Amino acid sequence: MAAPMSEGSGAAPYGNFPNYSRFHPPEGRVSLLPPGLLRTLFPAAARPLLGLDVGCNSGELSVALYKHLLGLQESQGNPDQPGRDLNLLCCDIDPMLIQRAQQCSPFPGSISFAHLDIMDCRARELFLGSHLHRFGRSSFDIGFCMSVTMWIHLNHGDRGLREFLSFLSSLCRYLLLEPQPWKCYRAAARRLRRLGRSDFDHFRSLGISGDMVQRITQILTEDCAMELVCCFGSTSWDRRLLLFKSNGEGRGCSGEEQ
């Protein structure tokens, strides 16, 4: 995969927008999640719970998710004390965004940021395996994939999307997913053309298209042994938050039951 675009390039072919949180604020997602979600999903699990945030950008949403899930107010939390309830590993393909996230993280003991191309099989297996080994674990309790699937799909095609979803489902007991609708694919392709750049390699050959919530749900439930637990509604920019779980794991949660 080619190197990610820098902040001054004007293009973000992997979704690595340098000011992403300004036009999609974290509050638009976290406000949809019910309080006490972790306690509902993991009433008796050993602590800390392990979380994985794929495509974390510069970390604003990661930090907001962490605070919301642990019920922390802005004035709470000691940055020098690792969280006893949740350890969150966040990764992104763009090293500049990761550097910014590391510099601004208010909880360095419990939220870590790492440069990682999640589609590099060898790199991810070594890095994520090492992280899990530190905690004596073989999987993450919960994964977050917020507006990432489209970029995987555009850059790696149908096969890449299926492989990505299969990988996440094998590594996470629960998966909180925010798929981009098909209109976002067309908008991303138009934006790249307006900038005079080549089109996405796979855009015109994608067979998985249309209702992306339905298509991704189908892949996860039929091919990846996951179950759709609930939908927490839609953001103001028309993206749904879906919670999946591995078959045989976990409990329900408040939201729109499926």
Phi, psi at 222, each rounded to 5°: -90, -30
pLDDT of the residue at 183: 96
CB 66, CB 85: distance < 8 Å: no
> How far is the C-alpha of 60 from the C-alpha of 181, rounded, in Å?
22
Q: Which one is predicted more confidently, 67 or 9?
A: 67
Pairwise pLDDT comparison (257 vs 242), residue with the higher score: 242
Categorize the per-residue pLDDT at 74 as very low, low, confident or very high, splitting at 50, 70 and 90: low
Q: What percent of the chain has pLDDT over 70?
A: 87
Q: What is the pLDDT of residue 134?
A: 96
Q: Is the pLDDT of residue 197 over 90?
A: no
The answer on pLDDT for 142 being more than 60 is yes
Global pTM value: 0.89
Residue 254 confidence (pLDDT):
47
Question: Band of the pLDDT at 17, cuts 50, 70, 90?
Answer: confident
Alpha-carbon torsion, ordered 210, 25, 63, 161, to 10 deg:
10
- Domains annotated on the chain, with CATH: 50-141 (3.40.50.150), 147-258 (3.40.50.150)
Give the alpha-carbon dihedral of 58, 63, 69, 71, to 10 degrees: -160
Residue 54 half-sphere exposure toward CB, CA atoms < 13 A: 29
